[in-house]
A and B are shown apart, each in its own frame.
Chain A
């Protein structure tokens, strides 16, 4: 650390601080997993099944990605819907 750092308002982030933050996030998730089974595969299956009930979708065109964060995790399920030229939409026709 140079003597100029002494005057800086904020100390630079240390690698130890990064270690703590990463540990807190990974352990928060692992502790949940300990008591509950891994529900993600089932969740994905069920959501896709619900969508498939209304829209004809290609099961090969389903993308699932997960980003585990500290305050918030995001689960993105991306399903390619067929274009207007594609299959009919049964759900809309019901009304």
Chain B
């Protein structure tokens, strides 16, 4: 049986899809069988971030409506062969998703996968509610910024009241905090919420901190999940987070501002 993980945040633009792509790829690189599902019907983007946009034939709505079989809609990644992507529909609206339909897809995928990642759309409407409904675990993506932290708190409340686990009065969804776009230089200047402050406010276990990094944009330009960029700090931070998720003891890195040496002071340059 697979574990169902929702990647969620409430707020848009904080890095859910980037994190879903990186996490799914990272788990698959560790030999796990992984499917990552895009729940953002109407605004699909996981296909672009994963670099499979030209291979999309059918999508999750086609499967739910019986127009295609599940394995016709799944796209196998060409870089990591234990990874598959189930794209969202670009033309339908979110009402095309049903609880029964999504439940059947997840049940079928659970048979021969280790992890099912659900990339949630922003908001707390139908798409987001369905993305989290079947979750066993949740990765809450948060930026060090007031509106993102507030929305994360809200989505935690939704997880605790509207998930299937909450409805069935089972053990609650296991929550993980993933702080993204963290900039230690601005934190040091007092311009950005400190990691400890975010942890204190949201009070859920910390899975990882992804530093603000130019490599994230570069990775999306080419459709390569950033975790595959072993040179970049963001890629390394995602890899660490995946390790922690699988139970490795990994120290948190990139939390302190890099002391600039004479060379970089003279010639500039920012974090890779």
Q: Is B191 in contact with A26, judged by CB distance below 8 angstroms?
A: no
Q: Is A16 in contact with B146, judged by CB distance below 8 angstroms?
A: no
Q: Is A15 in contact with B201, judged by CB distance below 8 angstroms?
A: no
- The answer, yes or no, to whether A63 is at the interface (CB within 8 Å) is no
- What mask results when residues 11 to 34 of chain A are scored 1 for a CB within 8 Å of chain B, else 0? 100111101101110110011001
Nearest CB to that of B158 among chain A residues? A34
Chain A contacts with B in 65-79, Cβ cutoff 8 A: none
- State in angstroms the CA–CA spacing of A28 and B146 once bound together: 14
- State in angstroms the CA–CA spacing of A20 and B192 once bound together: 10
Which residues does chain B contribute within 8 Å of A16, judged by CB atoms? 187, 190-194, 197
Q: Is B201 in contact with A27, judged by CB distance below 8 angstroms?
A: yes
Q: List 13 A-B contacts (CB under 8 A).
A: A14-B190, A15-B191, A16-B191, A16-B193, A16-B197, A17-B190, A19-B193, A20-B194, A23-B146, A23-B193, A27-B150, A30-B153, A34-B157
Q: Is A20 in contact with B150, judged by CB distance below 8 angstroms?
A: no
Which residues does chain A contribute within 8 Å of B109, judged by CB atoms? none
Q: Is B201 in contact with A24, judged by CB distance below 8 angstroms?
A: yes
- State in angstroms the CA–CA spacing of A32 and B62 once bound together: 41
Q: Is B150 in contact with A26, judged by CB distance below 8 angstroms?
A: yes
Besides A19-B145, A27-B153, 8 more A-B contacts (Cβ < 8 Å) are A14-B190, A15-B191, A16-B187, A17-B190, A19-B146, A20-B194, A23-B149, A31-B157
Q: Is B154 in contact with A30, judged by CB distance below 8 angstroms?
A: yes
Chain B contacts with A in 197-248, Cβ cutoff 8 A: 197, 201
**A interface vs B, CB < 8 Å?**
11, 14-17, 19-20, 22-24, 26-27, 30-31, 34
The 4 closest A-B pairs by CB, nearest first: A14-B190, A20-B197, A34-B157, A16-B190
Which residues does chain B contribute within 8 Å of A15, judged by CB atoms? 190-191
Which residues does chain B contribute within 8 Å of A24, judged by CB atoms? 201
Q: Is B191 in contact with A14, judged by CB distance below 8 angstroms?
A: yes
Which residues does chain B contribute within 8 Å of A19, judged by CB atoms? 145-146, 193, 197
- State in angstroms the CA–CA spacing of A15 and B144 once bound together: 12
Q: Known: A26-B150, A27-B150, A27-B201. Contact between A20 and B193, CB under 8 A? A: yes
- State in angstroms the CA–CA spacing of A83 and B28 once bound together: 78
Nearest CB to that of A17 among chain B residues? B190
Nearest CB to that of A22 among chain B residues? B146
CB distance from A6 to the nearest CB of B (A): 15
CB distance from B154 to the nearest CB of A (A): 7
Q: Is B150 in contact with A23, judged by CB distance below 8 angstroms?
A: yes
- What mask results when residues 154 to 179 of chain B are scored 1 for a CB within 8 Å of chain A, else 0? 10010001000000000000000000
Q: Is A20 in contact with B201, judged by CB distance below 8 angstroms?
A: yes
Which residues does chain A contribute within 8 Å of B145, judged by CB atoms? 19
CB distance from B161 to the nearest CB of A (A): 8
- State in angstroms the CA–CA spacing of A26 and B146 once bound together: 10
- State in angstroms the CA–CA spacing of A20 and B146 once bound together: 8
Which residues does chain A contribute within 8 Å of B149, judged by CB atoms? 23
Scoring B146, B154, B189, B190 by chain A CB atoms within 10 A of each residue's CB, the highest score goes to B190
Which residues does chain B contribute within 8 Å of A22, judged by CB atoms? 146
Nearest CB to that of B149 among chain A residues? A23
CB distance from B194 to the nearest CB of A (A): 7
- State in angstroms the CA–CA spacing of A22 and B154 once bound together: 16
Which residues does chain B contribute within 8 Å of A27, judged by CB atoms? 150, 153, 201
CB distance from A29 to the nearest CB of B (A): 11
Nearest CB to that of B190 among chain A residues? A14
Nearest CB to that of B146 among chain A residues? A19
